[in-house]
Amino acid sequence: MKRAPTHSYPGINLGERHASADKAAEVVTFGFWVFLMSDLVYFGLMFAIYITMIDAQAGGPGPHELFDLKSIFAQTLILLTSSLTVGLAMLALKYNLPRGRIVLWFGVTLVLGISFLVLEVRDFMAMAEKGGIPQRSGFLSAFFGLVPLHGLHVAAGCLWLIVLGIQLRVKGMTDVVISRVVRLALFWHFLDLIWIGIITIVYFGGLTYG
Amino acid sequence: MDKRSEMHRRERRRYVIGYGGSLLLTLTTFAVAYLFGIETPGVYLTIGLLGLAQLVLQLVYFLHIDRRRSSREDLHLVLFSTMVLLIMILGTIWVLGNLAMRMHMHVM
């Protein structure tokens, strides 16, 4: 298969200026896509379990008592915006913009990621107060198997963001560090995709069929 | 304006379009839920389709998956994973739904 020189691997490409980084990134980026897809299978099965468990509430609190759509709405907007800012951080790096710009977008993404987690944990605590704990019913076990799994991924993404921020500072914009930022951006966009599944299936699906 | 900053502008526009589109779809989803209630399957179908549209939009504009030759291997990977996933998800729902029906558990 003949490939266009400007776009040599799937996803975000670094372009001519970072040609050496691009070559090194090609193989690992494809490998990272394979990881993302296997992670998708994991999430998909948690979704399947949730769907089969929607009615298994065992007389415990259900979606209507437990879900707070306003908070979900806020979380959705925060995560979506962070998906934009991580992309802008990536572009700032790709086009060699001043370091301040890169740090700015990294910082905004990190703040948004942490805000998302704070809201989510507050939701879980509010649910627990109403008796919505994982061991209460099959429905709640499935819920707490799936949604906090996504939250855990976001937390890992935040940690990754911090580590990369430090690496950018200590090592500078080396090829290896740049290709890591490419993968972080992919990971972050992927988490936003999973979140769309969560609001559609877990929250709206739960409220419709639960 | 040189070629690089022109390319930068174009790429940034892609992200902004993806963000604007996703924002619009998100707002529509919540507006539909708010205005029509979330009880009926018809409303849920609408919400599901809006979610699907947003998935495709973000795959194209954020993750740069499209039918261009250079990203086609990746499209294959995504499509194959989706197929495996659909077999497992639909299979799970089918088998467990059938079990529930035969055991009179009133699930689904």
A2 domain-assigned: no
* Number of structural domains found in chain B: 2
Q: Are B43 and B55 in the same domain? A: yes
Which chain B residue shows the shortest CA-CA distance from A88? B12
Highest-scoring range by mean pLDDT, A11-25, A46-60, A136-150: A136-150
A119 sits in which H/E element: helix A99-129
- pLDDT exceeds cutoff 90 at A76: yes
Burial class for A126, CB neighbours closer than 10 Å (0-12, 13-18, 19+): middle
The answer to whether B16 and A85 have CB atoms below 8 angstroms apart is no
| Angstroms from B103 CA to nearest CA on chain A | 14
Whether residue B34 is found in the same domain as residue B56: yes
At A94, which amino acid appears? K
Residue B54: which domain range? 1-64
Looking at residues A93-99, what average pLDDT do you find? 85
Q: How far is A18 from chain B (nearest CA, A)?
A: 13
Q: Is the dihedral of CA A61, A64, A70, A72 positive or negative?
A: positive
Give the Cβ contact number of residue A56 at 10 Å: 18
One domain for residues B14 and B53: yes
Q: What is the mean pLDDT of each run of 10 residues along chain B (108 residues)?
A: 82 94 96 87 92 94 77 82 92 88 68
Contacts of A41 in chain B (CB under 8 A): 81, 84-85, 88
Whether A183 is in a domain gets the answer yes
Q: What is the pLDDT of residue A21?
A: 61
Segments forming the whole domain that contains residue A124: 21-209
B55–A193 C-beta distance less than 8 A: yes
Q: ipTM exceeding 0.90? A: no
Number of structural domains in chain A? 1
- The Cα A128–Cα A137 span in angstroms is 13
Domain shared by B40 and B84, yes or no: no
The arithmetic mean of pLDDT across residues A34-43, rounded, is: 94
Cα–Cα distances (Å) from B70 to A20, B29, B60, in that order, read 18, 34, 14
Band of the pLDDT at A111, cuts 50, 70, 90? Answer: very high
Spatial neighbors of A169 by CB under 8 A, at least 6 apart, are none
Q: What value does the mean pLDDT take over residues A163-190?
A: 89
- Report which residue type is found at A81: T
Could you tell me the CATH number of the domain that includes residue A157? Answer: 1.20.120.80
